[in-house]
């Protein structure tokens, strides 16, 4: 692994973020950063955006319409039944089931989306760069090929705040 | 990282990230203590007794229970509502404190959510067995069937209840599980045992802690947190409509949904307190679950207890102010001074009066007192459900229908069985799952180190 990549290993969040910002200032974006907990400066700095919240909104929208549609179909069109003289289309009482079932649909579909997009699923083998990244180390992975003339400078930035492995 | 200087430290002791991982996973990696086996054996015994009671119920029928035509909802519904109420706190705890950005939740939310999953599972058994022929329970699904297709009644609170409980069980379990994935990865990477590495490696779904994973993980928590908040409020409101929609004196009131939701959170927080105090003592987690955590939960309980007291007084006032003789009879002749006065006063004193002891700092500081009061609240909330279910049914409009109710040993056995299941579930949780969210607690760990200019990052947490 270390042939192609440089691993900058840091002991705490602050040293990681400082080194990360200095490396970024040189115009080099690390391939990936591994941390034991989410670090917001890194998540923003890596430049990726997640649209999972937008996806969830549309799941909710379509689920709500779908469920209300199903209730209307079952209770009004397919087999209308009188329940104590109430109207077939008892819209206010349909809302209850719609809310709860929509929440269920949003949860399951968002989880599934997360699983697919973040590639977190049962049976997946973890690609571990540094086995302490989930414990107490903050690891920055940099591609050696993309360094060009900055190779020496990046080395010294990492050494200033952490270690190279 | 946790950077405000207004609040004190959330974790005591000078801990490194590695020692946080080690101390929290200690119950998983160390030798299992003797008390664990002892407690597990007892809970399995209780569970076995419950299984026998369920066997009797299924083979002989509901006739083995103490319920009758008048009081058709006895023990089963009392315990169903009680367990669901306890189950509510886990999600309420995580979600509301997440939304309110209360960082101290990180030490407790995992235990609270574990409690939720087990309690909701216990709760769902009661309506299932109460159906009489539980093997036909799938009739309640709205599926295309050969009977028409005859759809279920979408206006019935019992159907709403079914949807709500099954959704709640699935959602709380998946919310809990996905919170644990990064911690399973930590165990996978720190444990020395090969078997644990393989097992936790499987359950960690290949988590590595990369920025891509964390980014989407945060998005996921945001979505699930946001919608589960709605769920917490709606599920127990739906449970309350089982009562409020029927035309029974004492049930047919508009106060029921908020009253049930608050009551559920009250009993759940009390159960969280019971569990956390035990966890602290048994696994010596005082550095993570600090005195100020217990203090905070106690203060919340004072507040909720005041709401409960207000709700009780409101019900009584409305019974008089409405001028309905049936309401008057139910509340004054039946509950406060009647045949079920003991249950009423047990409820009132344990829920509205005894928790007021938490106003005193001396009480909040003594763990054995906190523990006892949390148990009293749990018992009080059980009596509240007894009070609601039994008194209203026992004396309704027609004196010819009046009846009394007492449970048989089969019903009691069923309840004891769910208690055993709950204890066994919690013990398994203590033994095999990190009882505190490791990655979350790391993000709030404060270290005595020179910090960067934090004004620059004041907008971040």
Domains in chain A: boundaries:
5-49+126-164, 52-117
- Name the residue with higher pLDDT: B244 or A124: B244
Q: Which of residues 19-78 of A touch B (CB under 8 A)?
A: 32-43, 46, 48-50, 52-53, 56, 60, 70-71, 74-75, 78
- Name the residue with higher pLDDT: B13 or B393: B393
**Chain A hits for B181, Cβ within 8 Å:** 120
Percent over 70 (pLDDT), chain B: 94
Percent over 70 (pLDDT), chain A: 95
A125 in contact with B at a CB cutoff of 8 Å? yes
B228 in contact with A at a CB cutoff of 8 Å? yes
Q: Please tell me the distance from the alpha carbon of residue B235 to that of residue B264, in angstroms, as a whole number.
A: 10
The pLDDT of residue B194 is 83
Residue B9 in any domain: the answer is no
The pLDDT of residue B218 is 84
Q: How far is A148 from chain B (nearest CA, A)?
A: 24
The pLDDT of residue B9 is 67
Measure CB to CB from residue A32 to each of B18, B153, B211 and give the nearest one.
Answer: B211
CB contact under 8 A, B235 and A50: no
CB contact under 8 A, B227 and A103: yes
pLDDT at B452 exceeding the cut of 60: no
Comparing B206-210, B267-271, B367-371, B447-451, the range with the smallest average pLDDT is: B447-451
- Per-residue pLDDT, averaged over B344-359, amounts to 90
**Chain A hits for B231, Cβ within 8 Å:** 100, 103
Residue B448 in any domain: the answer is no
The pLDDT of residue B345 is 92
CB A104 within 8 A of CB B239: no
Q: How far is B64 from chain A (nearest CA, A)?
A: 32
CB contact under 8 A, B189 and A132: yes
CA atoms lying within 13 Å on the CB side of residue B441? 32
Percent over 90 (pLDDT), chain B: 19
Comparing A118-122, A147-151, B29-33, B213-217, the range with the smallest average pLDDT is: A147-151
CB contact under 8 A, B208 and A110: no
Tell me the backbone φ, ψ of residue A36, rounded to 5 degrees: -75, -20
Q: Please tell me the distance from the alpha carbon of residue B379 to that of residue A116, in angstroms, as a whole number.
A: 45
Measure CB to CB from residue A52 to each of B190, B206, B219 and give the nearest one.
Answer: B219
- Per-residue pLDDT, averaged over B246-269, amounts to 88
CB contact under 8 A, B206 and A124: yes
Cα angle, residue A123 at apex, residues A119 and A124 outer, rounded to 5°: 40
- Per-residue pLDDT, averaged over A32-57, amounts to 82
Model confidence at B448, pLDDT cuts 50, 70, 90, reads very low
Q: Read off the pLDDT of residues B233-253 as tens digits, 9 standing for 90 and up.
A: 888 899 898 888 888 888 888
Model confidence at A62, pLDDT cuts 50, 70, 90, reads very high
Comparing B98-102, B155-159, B286-290, the range with the smallest average pLDDT is: B98-102
Model confidence at B38, pLDDT cuts 50, 70, 90, reads very high
The pLDDT of residue B6 is 47
**Chain A hits for B151, Cβ within 8 Å:** 74-75, 78-79, 81
Our count of domains for chain B comes to 1
Measure CB to CB from residue A110 to each of B185, B220, B460 and give the nearest one.
Answer: B220
**Chain A hits for B438, Cβ within 8 Å:** 36
Report the run of H or E that residue A142 belongs to, with start and end.
strand A138-143
Residue range(s) defining the domain that contains residue B319: 17-141+151-443
Q: What is the ipTM of this complex?
A: 0.86
Measure CB to CB from residue B21 to each of A39, A75, A136 and give the nearest one.
Answer: A136
Q: Please tell me the distance from the alpha carbon of residue B415 to that of residue B448, in angstroms, as a whole number.
A: 50
**Chain A hits for B447, Cβ within 8 Å:** 12
- Per-residue pLDDT, averaged over A50-71, amounts to 90
- Per-residue pLDDT, averaged over B301-325, amounts to 90
Q: How far is B254 from chain A (nearest CA, A)?
A: 16
Residue B196: which CATH number?
A: 1.20.1630.10
- Per-residue pLDDT, averaged over B107-123, amounts to 88
CB B134 within 8 A of CB B62: no
pLDDT at B175 exceeding the cut of 80: yes
**Chain B hits for A108, Cβ within 8 Å:** 170, 174
- Per-residue pLDDT, averaged over B106-123, amounts to 88
Q: Residue A9 pairs with which residues in a beta bridge?
A: A139, A163
pLDDT at B68 exceeding the cut of 90: no
Q: How far is B413 from chain A (nearest CA, A)?
A: 32
pLDDT at B422 exceeding the cut of 90: yes
Average pLDDT in chain B: 85
Q: Please tell me the distance from the alpha carbon of residue B294 to that of residue B314, in angstroms, as a whole number.
A: 30
pLDDT at B457 exceeding the cut of 60: no
Sign of CA dihedral A147, A150, A155, A158: negative
Residue B393 in any domain: the answer is yes
pLDDT at A75 exceeding the cut of 70: yes
The pLDDT of residue B290 is 80
Closest CA to A62 of A106, A31, A19: A106
How many CB atoms sit inside 10 A of residue B14's CB? 10
Q: Which residue has the tokens 């890194």?
A: A42
Residue B146 in any domain: the answer is no
pLDDT at B74 exceeding the cut of 50: yes
- Per-residue pLDDT, averaged over B270-288, amounts to 86
Q: Please tell me the distance from the alpha carbon of residue A15 to that of residue A46, in angstroms, as a whole number.
A: 16
Measure CB to CB from residue B207 to each of A17, A101, A120 and give the nearest one.
Answer: A120
**Chain A hits for B242, Cβ within 8 Å:** none
Model confidence at B310, pLDDT cuts 50, 70, 90, reads very high
CB contact under 8 A, B155 and A135: no
The pLDDT of residue B451 is 47
Q: How far is A47 from chain B (nearest CA, A)?
A: 10
CB contact under 8 A, A134 and B227: no
pLDDT at B306 exceeding the cut of 90: yes
Residue B398 in any domain: the answer is yes
Model confidence at B449, pLDDT cuts 50, 70, 90, reads very low
Measure CB to CB from residue A90 to each of B155, B201, B234 and give the nearest one.
Answer: B155
- Per-residue pLDDT, averaged over B202-227, amounts to 84
pLDDT at B450 exceeding the cut of 50: no
The pLDDT of residue A3 is 64
pLDDT at B357 exceeding the cut of 80: yes
- Per-residue pLDDT, averaged over B427-438, amounts to 87
Instruction: Retrieve residue B211's tokens.
Output: 């920025």
Measure CB to CB from residue B185 to each of A39, A118, A134 and give the nearest one.
Answer: A134
The pLDDT of residue A23 is 77
CB contact under 8 A, A53 and B219: yes
Q: Please tell me the distance from the alpha carbon of residue B303 to that of residue B359, in angstroms, as a whole number.
A: 10
C-alpha dihedral, A95 to A99 to A104 to A110, nearest 10°: 130
CB B168 within 8 A of CB B87: yes
Q: Please tell me the distance from the alpha carbon of residue B366 to that of residue B2, in angstroms, as a whole number.
A: 29
pLDDT at B297 exceeding the cut of 60: yes
Beta-strand ranges (E) seen in A18-67 are 32-34
Average pLDDT in chain A: 81
CB B348 within 8 A of CB B387: no
Measure CB to CB from residue A120 to each of B163, B205, B439 and give the nearest one.
Answer: B205
CB B251 within 8 A of CB B389: no
């Amino acid at each position: 692994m270390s042939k192609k990549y440089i691993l900058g290993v840091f002991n705490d969040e602050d040293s990681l973020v400082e080194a990360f910002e200095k490396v970024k200032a040189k115009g080099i974006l690390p391939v990936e950063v591994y941390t034991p907990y989410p670090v917001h400066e890194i998540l923003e700095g890596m430049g990726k955006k997640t649209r999972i919240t937008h996806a969830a909104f549309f799941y909710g929208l379509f689920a709500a319409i779908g469920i209300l549609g199903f209730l209307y179909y079952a209770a009004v069109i397919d087999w209308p039944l009188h329940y104590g003289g109430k109207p077939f289309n008892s819209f206010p009482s349909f809302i209850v089931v719609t809310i709860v079932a929509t929440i269920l649909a949003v949860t399951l579909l968002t989880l599934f989306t997360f699983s697919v997009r973040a590639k977190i699923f049962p049976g997946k083998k973890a690609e571990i760069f540094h086995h302490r990244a989930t414990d107490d180390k903050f690891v920055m992975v940099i591609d050696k090929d993309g360094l060009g003339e900055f190779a020496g400078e990046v080395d010294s930035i990492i050494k200033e705040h952490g270690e190279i492995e | 990282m946790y950077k405000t200087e207004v609040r004190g430290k959330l974790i005591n002791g000078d801990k490194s990230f590695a020692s946080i991982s080690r101390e929290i996973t200690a119950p998983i990696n160390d030798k299992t203590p003797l008390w664990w086996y002892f407690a597990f054996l007892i809970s399995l015994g209780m569970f076995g007794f419950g299984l026998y009671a369920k066997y009797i119920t299924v083979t002989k029928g509901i006739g083995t229970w103490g319920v009758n035509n008048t009081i058709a909802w006895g023990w089963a519904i009392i315990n169903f509502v009680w367990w669901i109420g306890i189950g509510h706190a886990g999600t309420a705890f995580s979600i509301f404190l997440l939304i309110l950005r209360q960082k101290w939740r990180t030490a407790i939310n995992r235990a609270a959510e574990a409690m939720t999953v087990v309690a909701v599972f216990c709760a769902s058994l009661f309506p299932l067995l109460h159906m009489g022929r539980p093997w036909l329970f799938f009739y309640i699904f709205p599926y295309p069937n050969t009977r028409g297709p005859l759809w279920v009644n979408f206006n019935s609170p019992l159907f709403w209840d079914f949807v709500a409980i099954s959704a709640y069980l699935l959602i709380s379990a998946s919310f809990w599980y996905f919170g644990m994935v990064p911690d399973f990865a930590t165990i996978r990477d720190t444990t020395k045992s090969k078997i644990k590495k393989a097992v936790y490696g499987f359950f960690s779904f290949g988590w590595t802690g990369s920025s891509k994973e964390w980014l989407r993980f945060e998005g996921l928590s945001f979505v699930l947190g946001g919608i589960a908040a709605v769920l917490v409020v709606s599920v127990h409101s739906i449970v309350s409509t089982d009562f409020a929609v029927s035309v029974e004196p004492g049930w047919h009131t508009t106060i029921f949904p908020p009253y049930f939701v608050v009551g559920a959170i009250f009993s759940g927080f009390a159960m969280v307190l019971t569990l956390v105090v035990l966890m602290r003592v048994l696994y010596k987690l005082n550095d993570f679950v600090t005195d100020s955590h217990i203090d905070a939960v106690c203060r919340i309980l004072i507040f909720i207890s005041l709401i409960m007291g207000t709700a009780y007084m409101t019900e009584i006032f409305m019974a008089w102010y409405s001028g309905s003789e049936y309401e008057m009879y139910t509340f004054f002749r039946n509950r406060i001074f009647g045949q079920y006065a003991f249950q009423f006063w047990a409820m009132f004193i344990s829920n509205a009066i005894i928790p007021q002891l938490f106003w005193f700092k001396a009480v909040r500081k003594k763990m054995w007192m906190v523990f006892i009061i949390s148990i009293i609240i749990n018992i009080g909330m059980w009596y509240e459900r007894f009070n609601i279910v039994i008194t209203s049914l026992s004396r309704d409009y027609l004196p010819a229908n009046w009846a009394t109710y007492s449970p048989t040993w089969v019903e009691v056995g069923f309840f004891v069985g769910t208690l055993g299941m709950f204890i066994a579930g919690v013990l398994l949780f203590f033994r095999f799952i990190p009882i505190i969210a490791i990655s979350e607690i790391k993000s709030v760990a404060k270290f005595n180190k020179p910090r960067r200019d934090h004004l620059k990052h004041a907008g971040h947490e």
